Structure 1
Amino acid sequence: MSEKPTYDFPDGPKWPAWLSTWRFLRNRYKYVPPLHEKYGDTFLMRILPGPRKLVVFSDPADIKEIFASDPSQFHAGEGNMILKPVMGPHSVLVTDDAEHQRARKLLMPAFTGPSMRAYQPLVEAIAKIEVDSWRDGDKLLTLDRMNAVTLDVILQVVFGVTDEERLAVLRPKVNRMVNIEAKMLLAWSYPRLFALPPWRGYFKNQKAVDDILYAEIAERRQAHDLEGRDDVLSRLLRVGDETDEAPLSDAEMRDQLVTLLLAGHETTASALSWTLHELGRHPEILAKALEAADNGDDAYLEACLKEGMRIHPIIDFVARTLQSDQVVCGRLLRKGTTVTPSIMLSHSREANFADSHRFDPERFLVGKIAPNTWIPFGGGVRRCIGAAFSLMEGTVVLREVLQRYSVEAPAVAPNKLRNITNVPGDKAPVKLTARVS
């Protein structure tokens, strides 16, 4: 008779799982850092449904080990399964193993360097149209306005929809789909909720968006000018011809497009909103950013964006669910355990970033950021494929804003957890001051 393995779970709070889940979903910024302070770089949480065990890590060496681990035994898709009712079963975020590898291989060509250069002029044009509508002295709710910009970028650059009539139909429906509350994600664990309000209304709207997307995909497949189109949808329709993989089906295409929409819309908008807020709170750094915008110094503007994403992580953790008993960072953990590199704790760790609560874009220009310390896009084979696109988009929008306006933030913005993203709770208002050209 074989001996029963002795598992080595770290210490953690002894609260009931329902209370831990409620606090985790309500405000992770108030919940997680005190646990780190009490239990150290590695600690245990129990989260519903299940309850399942989450082992949280924040030391760079541990994070490196997890990112480098065998993806067949460390499933990221399973850790993201709560997103499946919205993103769909084929989403690159919720699949693992061969299905994930195939999807990633087909998606990657749309996010290479040449593709980025092709998208940039359209991002610039969309940002310019938005900033043209602003006026000197306006009080700007940056989260709302950045959401408007990044939504149009997704619709035009990713979906390839440029017709104003179609955009007018899509915008409100997509906005409702994007404005998902955390409780909507409970439909993964409790499918009966689909029939009840507000879930029923949300998923009815999602079906309407799906119908539009499927019609767009069908129409695009018949387009005679597909080779000349630069949008992501057209590239994805062509990419099957350029690889040995079967092309994406309509259902797979829908799921990847919705994933790009949900993963690349509010995340980038929130990063821009937080960055403008921090610039509005730090006049001396703002002065350097204004000069960088005038001189085309995109490196400094990107550094501002990266520092905004560091000090205000939009997504605050990464999840990998173990498919077998595994020794993780020196601990034997049971199959089914979810190991969780904490983006929030990594970004605020003094050993990683001196004076970690200070907004300082120079960190990303002087010296080198240590590996596995700045991880807003995750890491390893599951690193976000849209990382380069997000940074390009954010830098372009910052440049367009700062070439024409200075910003001033009246107060420190509170953090609010909305669905799975951290956004400014007051939408990060700033006062605009037109610059003299």
Structure 2
Amino acid sequence: MAPTPLLGSRTLDRQTARTLPPGPRWPTLAQTVLFASHRRTFFPRMRAKYGDVFTIRLVPSSRVCVVLSRPDHIREVFGSPPAVMHAGEGNMVLEPIMGSHSLLLLDDEDHVRMRRQLMPAFSGQALRGYAGMVHELARADVAKWPVGTPFKVHERMRNLTLEIILQVIFGVTDTDRLNMLRPLLDKIVSVSPVIMLGGFYPALLRIRPWRTYLTTQRQVDEILYDEIARRRGNLAGRNDVLSRLLAAGNWTDEELRDQLVTLLLAGHETTATALAWTFHELARRPEELAFGQRAADADADDELEAIVKEAMRLHPVVYQVGRRLTETADVAGYRLPRGTTIMAAIGLVHRDGEHFPMPMDFRPHRFLSDDPPAPGTWIPFGGGARRCIGAGFSLMEGTEILRAALAAYDFEAPDPKPEPAQAKNVTLVPRRGSVVRVTPR
């Protein structure tokens, strides 16, 4: 099926333009720069000026993006037939990196088939099987943390979540192969927005730095394809994600490779960043730190998970998710034409006082009360048929890492001021790396 053409400068007529939600008339490049680097302040300002629904224009082709900030409007999008709201087409910028078979890039029957094959590896039973491995890796890493000396916990979290992906998801335990993969995968994960432009402008992939990135990618692919070949027919006693996928589905090597790279990119930086924000808040708040330590000592998973959830609410790692309309549709009270990009602004919902009283406060207990946040207001993993398939794994991973760290250390922040967020690729990370100091309990 041919992709849906973007609604933009070449396909938007004046009459249709008048019916779109209001928005800034600044040059497309200016809006793109603000969106790419300052979305956390850009979106709230646009909402304050234009209302709950507004339009921005981004490269390429001055594409029309309608931004939604109300849960009821976002539910319309998440609840719409996937054939009308294509998420895969909204992510095509990622194709040179993740591959054409990536779950994030597929739509319609292809997405349903691939998701069905992936589900057994992320079932509740499977997650319980991974938890022990995650906890042991977390305990071993936490034991090496510098005591009494400030360090950037975000960097530590990136290293730890990468190790978890290598051993728990990829199933690689050979020391030599781990040493070979770590630096290569770190380069893959650190993809910049400049590299991602190759998804819109394929000609760029023939020159540096895009060509250099693809060279690294080919080196990783060679190792992954070799690992897949070794694993086929040799699954006895293995319960890593790759082995479960091979056992549960009928995969080509290319399909498996694309899913593994997707899990690497979607599940590495996001979880590491969520945990960095979590430790940043706990180190600044002695009462919440003590609450977390009691939860770790008592193995109170719900309470540990609530701490991670609140960090994800206050500091959404992914600020928005997109869909592309494959046909004209009514959304948020507007008749929007085919090709429109719809953006559900997770960050605007999470900091709305209507849904979260005292939204700027870090209050994990809001997820444990008799009146928890309403459905559709906490959406760090998206929603509907396209909700992140790794959501359960991410929360389990965060809970286990938090348990290991809080059982071992007291935390304090050398600088108690809130740390600003900085855009990195599609994520919002702590600008200073979330510096903390730990001492043994």
Matched, 1:75 2:75: no
Q: In structure 1, what residue type is equivalent to 2:380? A: P
Matches within 5 A, 1:19-58: 19-58=30-69
Matched, 1:432 2:435: no
How far 1:295 sits from its partner (Å)? 1.3
**112, 122, 125: which one aligns with 2:123:** 112
Distance, in Å, in 2 between the alignment partners of 1:334 and 1:74 is 12
Q: In structure 1, what residue type is equivalent to 2:397? A: E
How far 1:239 sits from its partner (Å)? 0.8
Secondary structure of the structure 2 residue equivalent to 1:269 = helix
Secondary structure of the structure 1 residue equivalent to 2:320 = coil
| Alpha-carbon RMSD | 1.2
How far 1:30 sits from its partner (Å)? 2.2
Question: Are 2:98 and 2:262, in contact at CA under 8 Å, matched by a contact in 1?
Answer: yes
Secondary structure of the structure 2 residue equivalent to 1:15 = coil
Q: In structure 1, what residue type is equivalent to 2:66? A: V
How far 1:428 sits from its partner (Å)? 0.4
Distance, in Å, in 1 between the alignment partners of 2:202 and 2:411 is 46
Matched, 1:229 2:238: yes
Partner of 1:131: 142
Distance, in Å, in 2 between the alignment partners of 1:409 and 1:302 is 22
Partner of 2:169: 158
Partner of 1:416: 422
Moved over 2 A (4+): 4-8
> Between Structure 1 and Structure 2, how many residues are aligned?
424
Secondary structure of the structure 2 residue equivalent to 1:54 = strand
Q: In structure 2, what residue type is equivalent to 1:94? A: L
TM-score w.r.t. the length of structure 2 is: 0.94
Deviations 1:108-156 (A, max 9, x none): 0100011011101100111011011124213221111001111011011
Question: Are 1:413 and 1:424, in contact at CA under 8 Å, matched by a contact in 2?
Answer: yes
Partner of 2:77: 66
Partner of 1:350: 353
Question: Are 1:18 and 1:47, in contact at CA under 8 Å, matched by a contact in 2?
Answer: yes
Identity %: 49
Distance, in Å, in 2 between the alignment partners of 1:420 and 1:319 is 12
Matches within 5 A, 1:316-335: 316-335=319-338
Matches within 5 A, 1:318-397: 318-366=321-369, 367-397=371-401
Distance, in Å, in 2 between the alignment partners of 1:252 and 1:292 is 40
Question: Are 1:110 and 1:235, in contact at CA under 8 Å, matched by a contact in 2?
Answer: yes
Distance, in Å, in 2 between the alignment partners of 1:300 and 1:336 is 43
Distance, in Å, in 2 between the alignment partners of 1:129 and 1:301 is 19
Distance, in Å, in 2 between the alignment partners of 1:288 and 1:330 is 44
Partner of 2:298: 295
Question: Are 1:43 and 1:56, in contact at CA under 8 Å, matched by a contact in 2?
Answer: yes
How far 1:7 sits from its partner (Å)? 6.9
Question: Are 1:227 and 1:238, in contact at CA under 8 Å, matched by a contact in 2?
Answer: no
Question: Are 2:150 and 2:435, in contact at CA under 8 Å, matched by a contact in 1?
Answer: yes
How far 1:345 sits from its partner (Å)? 0.3
Partner of 1:306: 309
Distance, in Å, in 2 between the alignment partners of 1:193 and 1:5 is 33
Distance, in Å, in 2 between the alignment partners of 1:157 and 1:7 is 52
Distance, in Å, in 2 between the alignment partners of 1:228 and 1:132 is 28
Deviations 1:41-94 (A, max 9, x none): 110001110111111111111111111001001000011111111010010001
Alpha carbons of structure 1 residues 186 and 5: separation in structure 2 relative to 1, 3 Å: closer
Distance, in Å, in 2 between the alignment partners of 1:130 and 1:58 is 39
Question: Are 1:75 and 1:320, in contact at CA under 8 Å, matched by a contact in 2?
Answer: yes
Matches within 5 A, 1:112-261: 112-223=123-234, 226-240=235-249, 247-261=250-264
Partner of 2:410: 406
Secondary structure of the structure 1 residue equivalent to 2:438 = strand
Stretches of structure 1 that go unaligned for 5 or more consecutive residues are 241-246
Alpha carbons of structure 1 residues 6 and 37: separation in structure 2 relative to 1, 3 Å: closer
Distance, in Å, in 2 between the alignment partners of 1:368 and 1:204 is 48
Between stretches 133-142 and 285-294, larger displacement belongs to 133-142
Between stretches 130-139 and 262-271, larger displacement belongs to 130-139
Deviations 1:326-359 (A, max 9, x none): 1112210010001111001010111111111111
Alpha carbons of structure 1 residues 6 and 183: separation in structure 2 relative to 1, 3 Å: closer
Distance, in Å, in 2 between the alignment partners of 1:138 and 1:186 is 39
Distance, in Å, in 1 between the alignment partners of 2:214 and 2:17 is 44
Between stretches 168-177 and 367-376, larger displacement belongs to 367-376
Deviations 1:157-203 (A, max 9, x none): 11000111111110000001001111110001111211222212111
Distance, in Å, in 2 between the alignment partners of 1:8 and 1:350 is 30
Question: Are 2:95 and 2:199, in contact at CA under 8 Å, matched by a contact in 1?
Answer: yes
How far 1:6 sits from its partner (Å)? 9.0
Secondary structure of the structure 2 residue equivalent to 1:340 = strand
Question: Are 1:311 and 1:356, in contact at CA under 8 Å, matched by a contact in 2?
Answer: yes
Distance, in Å, in 1 between the alignment partners of 2:125 and 2:22 is 48
Partner of 1:243: none
Q: In structure 2, what residue type is equivalent to 1:358? A: D
Distance, in Å, in 1 between the alignment partners of 2:175 and 2:112 is 36
Secondary structure of the structure 1 residue equivalent to 2:104 = coil
Question: Are 2:150 and 2:414, in contact at CA under 8 Å, matched by a contact in 1?
Answer: no
Deviations 1:260-290 (A, max 9, x none): 0100011000000000000011111111111
Question: Are 1:326 and 1:335, in contact at CA under 8 Å, matched by a contact in 2?
Answer: yes
Q: In structure 1, what residue type is equivalent to 2:394? A: S
Q: In structure 2, what residue type is equivalent to 1:296? A: D
Secondary structure of the structure 1 residue equivalent to 2:379 = coil
Stretches of structure 2 that go unaligned for 5 or more consecutive residues are 1-14
